Amino acid sequence: MLDSQRISEAVAKLYDAYPFPPEPLLDEPPPGYNWRWNWLTAYAFCTGQKPTRQDVRILDAGCGTGVGTEYLVHLNPEAAVTGIDLSAGALAVARERCQKSGATRVEFHHLSLFDAAQLPGEFDLINCVGVLHHTPDPVGGIQALAKKLAPGGLLHVFVYGELGRWEIKLMQEAIALLQGDRRGDYKDGVAVGRQLFSALPENNRLRQREQDRWSWENQRDECFADMYVHPQEIDYNIDTVFELIEASGLEFVGLSNPHVWDLNRLVGTAPELLERARNLSDRQRYRLIELLDPSAITHYEFFLARPPLEKQDWQDDDMLLRAVPEPSPCLENWRDSPQFFNQDYQLVKLEEAPWRFMVACGEAQGQKTVGELLDSLTATLADVRSLQHQNLILLTPAP
């Protein structure tokens, strides 16, 4: 086993050779959105309400070539954004990317997660996607980030799942065996891996999984190298994920892809099984889902928070009537039709009354309360709660 310094050096060498992610540099803001990187929608998802301020500090921890950093700047126009990474080569691309697209409210530092203490102050939102599992000490890494999180702040984490990456782990080991003493020569590793996939029978499980799930993105050598010849990777299951979470000392807020963790999508036709599952804890239910659908669990993405984090469930009618609603900023074409894409790019179709309420929210531009809007519409408080629960509207409590 490599020691920590040698692991970090090997990881930096990989990303210097293959800067990642390899998305093209643009002369304009990047298309689309990721609601987890938008302070308004991330905060509303975690708390049920819109944050009171938008002039926040955001840290992209392990920013790579700045793909996520660029979004963080453009999606949060009042925020000050910082990106850190241990690869000088990747940081050079990140700086160029953000400068080219006008994402100028950002500063970059050549630091690893473990050096986060060198940054001044605390951060309201920390984004750490695809990084901790490539470190020699994920627990130390998440603890270092936790220390930089402001009270009431959010940490979004993405780590790999072992069950959905089973075939990847086998191919990683096969490539390493064939490389022998050339392991660490990442270009040779990519060449060996591509030869292997080409030579394997078409019905081979590893080849089929690559073709069905990963081949489109792995056309690019940067993606192939990141997946198959990475010098350091730790994969998780739900139990080890929660061990990592508990070690952070932060509060678990929730998984940020909850539709994946809905047992109804797997056994919804068997109400007796759903009834049995009601006796399970959340962690047991998550474990059941990954056991039943292992290929779907390629990763875990979740929010943690440093208390106090005030939450609102909107069960009080009077409080809901006095709240100010507005449409989520991470929606597309919702004004044109009651059928549109939600923040997860999934198609939703609303009934006429709740859709008209959403349109009225947009027209009011945050100047009317729920009660004032309902006075002239046929929508109900139940409709409003449903829209908020689906993350289609944001609610600001009355002062």
Backbone angles phi, psi at 326, to 5 degrees: -155, 150
Backbone angles phi, psi at 362, to 5 degrees: -65, -40
Cα–Cα dist 242/40, whole Å: 26
Which of 300, 298, 306 has the alpha carbon at shortest distance from 242? 300
Backbone angles phi, psi at 58, to 5 degrees: -125, 135
Question: Which fold does the domain 4-162+235-305 belong to in CATH?
Answer: Rossmann fold (3.40.50)
CA angle at 153 for the pair 149 and 154, rounded to the nearest 5° = 95
Quote the strand ranges of the chain, DSSP E.
57-61, 80-84, 106-109, 123-129, 149-160, 251-255, 299-305, 324-327, 339-341, 347-349, 393-396
Helix (H) or strand (E) holding 317: helix 317-322
What pLDDT is stored for residue 1 in this prediction?
Answer: 41
What pLDDT is stored for residue 3 in this prediction?
Answer: 84
What pLDDT is stored for residue 2 in this prediction?
Answer: 52
What pLDDT is stored for residue 90 in this prediction?
Answer: 97
Cα–Cα dist 154/39, whole Å: 9
CB-based contact 165:310 (threshold 8 Å): no
pTM for the model: 0.96
Query: What is the number of other CB atoms lying within 10 angstroms of the CB of residue 244?
Result: 22
Name the CA dihedral angle for 258, 264, 266, 269, rounded to a multiple of 10 degrees. -170
| Helix extents (H) in 116-158 | 138-146
Q: Collapse the DSSP code of 324 into the 3-class scheme (helix H, G, I; strand E, B; otherwise coil) and give the result.
A: strand
Helix (H) or strand (E) holding 268: none
Beta pairing class for 347-349 and 339-341: antiparallel
Helix (H) or strand (E) holding 375: none
CB-based contact 271:171 (threshold 8 Å): no
Cα–Cα dist 197/100, whole Å: 37
Q: Collapse the DSSP code of 384 into the 3-class scheme (helix H, G, I; strand E, B; otherwise coil) and give the result.
A: helix
Q: Report residues of the chain scoring pLDDT below 50.
A: 1
Q: Where are the domains of the chain?
A: 4-162+235-305, 166-228, 317-396
